[in-house]
């Protein structure tokens, strides 16, 4: 997109919009509907930045002579690779632009620590529409295992929530997170494991734009 992106004020990614797609896109372009979708993948600046293409090996896409595709990036698929390699994407996972702006305030968790008997914990924070238009915000919750015995991603999506606010309106988003989503698969024990220790809970508008943080421990 580099050769034309700076020449346009904005662009709309509509994906597979179906038979009513024209009407839906028109509603967005004319401002009748706030665009509240968020990217489910990362857009790289160049193809070599993508983990599937970074090694230059024929083992990756489009595959080897036997038409097998190998994922050499291991657990660092998608935005996890960009975080690990500190590659600045064109548009990060979770990115999207509404017609208004939001501020995040007062992040809080309903528990300071959790154990194997806790099925969930709750992340809450206040959202303020600071713009001039009504809009919807998609709040994304990521976790980071501060000290793990194995290599883990810098952050992993563990929950999200959506809230619609009028200009100047303030609301609270409450996102229930499954404790099991803090786990990783132990290849030696052949099961999912959560190691005792501290986790950082990161809340933001995309995988690259974190606006609030909190901590929780697992014992």
Which pLDDT value is given to residue 2? 82
What mean pLDDT is predicted for residues 108-121?
A: 96
What mean pLDDT is predicted for residues 143-154?
A: 95
> Is 85 in a helix, a strand, or coil?
helix
What would be the CATH architecture of the domain defined by 102-218?
Sandwich (2.60)
Exposed e or buried b per residue across 126-145, where buried means at least 16 C-beta atoms within 10 angstroms of its C-beta: bbbbebeebbbbbbbbbbbb
pLDDT over 80 (residue 59): no
DSSP letter for 183, please.
Answer: -
| Domain boundaries, given as residue ranges, for the chain | 102-218
Write down the pTM of the prediction: 0.91
Query: Over the stretch 167-198, which tens digit does the pLDDT of each residue have?
Result: 999 999 999 999 999 999 999 999 999 999 99
Which pLDDT value is given to residue 61? 67
What mean pLDDT is predicted for residues 115-132?
A: 96
What mean pLDDT is predicted for residues 74-82?
A: 93
Handedness of CA 181, 182, 185, 189 (dihedral sign): negative
Which pLDDT value is given to residue 63? 75
């Amino acid at each position: 997109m580099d050769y034309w992106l700076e020449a346009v004020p904005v662009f709309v990614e509509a994906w597979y919009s179906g038979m009513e797609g024209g009407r839906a896109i028109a509603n967005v372009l004319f401002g009748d509907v706030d665009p509240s979708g968020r990217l489910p993948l990362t857009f790289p600046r160049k193809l070599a930045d993508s983990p599937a293409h970074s090694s230059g090996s024929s083992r990756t896409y489009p595959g080897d002579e036997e038409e097998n595709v190998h994922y050499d990036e291991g657990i660092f698929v998608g935005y996890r690779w960009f975080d690990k390699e500190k590659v600045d994407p064109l548009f990060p996972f979770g990115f999207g632009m509404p017609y208004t702006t939001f501020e995040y305030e007062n992040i809080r968790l309903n528990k300071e620590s959790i154990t194997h008997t806790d099925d969930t914990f709750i992340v809450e924070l206040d959202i303020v529409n600071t713009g001039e238009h009504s809009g919807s915000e998609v709040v994304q919750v990521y976790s980071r295992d501060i000290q793990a015995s194995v290599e883990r991603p810098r952050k992993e999506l563990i929950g999200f929530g959506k809230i619609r606010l009028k200009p100047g309106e303030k609301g609270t988003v409450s996102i229930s997170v499954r404790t099991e989503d803090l786990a990783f698969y132990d290849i030696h024990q052949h099961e999912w494991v959560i190691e005792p220790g501290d986790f950082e809970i990161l809340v933001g508008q995309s995988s690259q734009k974190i606006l609030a943080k909190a901590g929780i421990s697992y014992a």
